[in-house]
Structure 1
Amino acid sequence: MTTVTSPLAGRAIALASVPDPVFSGAMVGPGTAIDPVREPSEAVSPVDGVIVSLHPHAFVVVDGSGHGVLTHLGIDTVQLNGEGFELLVSKGDTVTRGQSIVRWDPAAVEAAGKSPVCPVVALEATVDSLSELREDGEVKAGDSLFLWK
């Protein structure tokens, strides 16, 4: 059982309300999303594991059970070409839950015309494999978002 925690402070929202059909349709995988606090912050690792994919706007951490968790910072933020994002780790690094991965400013993303909403997705999972899914209410970085069997 893997506990996936919030990479950011903000408000939990259902993946279905993410303004992107790929995420809202759970095509990438099931999970939840965070509407982040609009201030410069650091996105932290939602699990202990290894960084297997790292971009300024998104990262994937795979834990010891082989569970890959995608944190996507904003919607269509790949179009910002890394502007406003600072990587704090490298691909292949072993990280611990709560360790800072990317520094960014959700308000700047919003000012650039993009949604700062951050999907947190269980890759290659089924909806049935997740429980205690958090889809509303305020969360702090490190609060539990869901359990993955």
Structure 2
Amino acid sequence: MSTTSVLAPVAGRAVPLADVPDPVFSAGMVGYGAAVDPPHEVIEAVAPVAGKVLKLMPHAYVIMTADNVGVLVHLGLDTVALDGEGFTTHVSQGDEVTAGQTVTTYDVPAIVAKGLNPIVPVVVMDEREPGNITPDEAVLEGAVLSSGDGLFTAGG
């Protein structure tokens, strides 16, 4: 099985997925991965992998790699309720993107002002085996990442 390096879609503090204060993510219901707690400023969220934009919503997106690994980036918790407020998308569903390409502008202060948690879970869709995800050292240390830094490796 091939491995896929998944990059941090935003800058911020790396957080183990189990520490995300939402059971849908922390329990791996959607899949396994890691998260990034972003700075409270307007930031660009980028593609964590190269591939096709399989699903694009203002608050979340899924990129499908050539190896059929679907990576979900969810901008904040419970942000679907905002109907796109605080998010500006820069690509279209079906577009091919490169890792590090800007997908969405994320207005973190607007999310925080609504009383929502801006943390960004990044998971491999439908990954049911947590052992198939290897967090980068930064996640284990709670280190601060730059956008595009390594977050975790899927597969193996």
Q: TM-score, normalised by structure 1?
A: 0.97
Distance in structure 1 (CA, Å) of the matches to 2:131 and 2:20: 20
> For the Cα contact (< 8 Å) 2:59–2:74, is it kept in 1?
yes
- Structure 1, residues 20-43: CA drift from partner, whole Å, max 9, x if none? 111111110111110001111110
Once residues 21 and 131 of structure 1 are traced to their aligned partners in structure 2, the CA distance between those partners, rounded to angstroms, is 20
Aligned twin of 2:130: 127
CA distance in structure 1 between the aligned counterparts of 2:81 and 2:115, rounded to whole angstroms: 11
Q: Is the 8 A contact 2:34 2:135 kept in 1?
A: no
Structure-1 separation of matches of 2:26 and 2:135: 19
Alpha-carbon deviations, 1:99-145, whole Å to 9, x = none?
00001211110111110001000112221211244242100111101
- Where does structure 1 differ by over 4 angstroms across 4 or more consecutive aligned residues? none
Length, aligned pairs only = 149
The TM-score, its normalising length taken from structure 2, stands at 0.92
Alignment match, 1:144: 150
Q: Within 2, Cα distance between the matches of 1:19 and 1:120? A: 14
Partner of 1:95: 97
SS at match of 2:31: coil
Tell me, in whole angstroms, the C-alpha distance in 2 between the residues paired with 1:75 and 1:96: 25
Percent of aligned positions that are identical? 46
In angstroms, what is the RMSD of aligned CA positions? 0.9
Residues 66-105 of structure 1: matches in 2 within 5 Å? 66-105=68-107
1:32 corresponds to which of 6, 30, 34: 34
Secondary structure (helix, strand or coil) at the match of 1:107 reads: helix
- For residues 11-68 of structure 1, what are the alpha-carbon distances to aligned partners after superposition, in whole Å with 9 as ceiling and x for unaligned? 0111111121111111101111100011111100000000000000000001011000
Structure 1 Cα separation of the partners of residues 7 and 26 of structure 2: 20
Give the Cα–Cα distance (whole angstroms) in 2 for the partners of residues 88 and 24 of structure 1: 29
**Structure 2 unaligned regions, length at least 5:** none
Between stretches 134-143 and 124-133, larger displacement belongs to 124-133
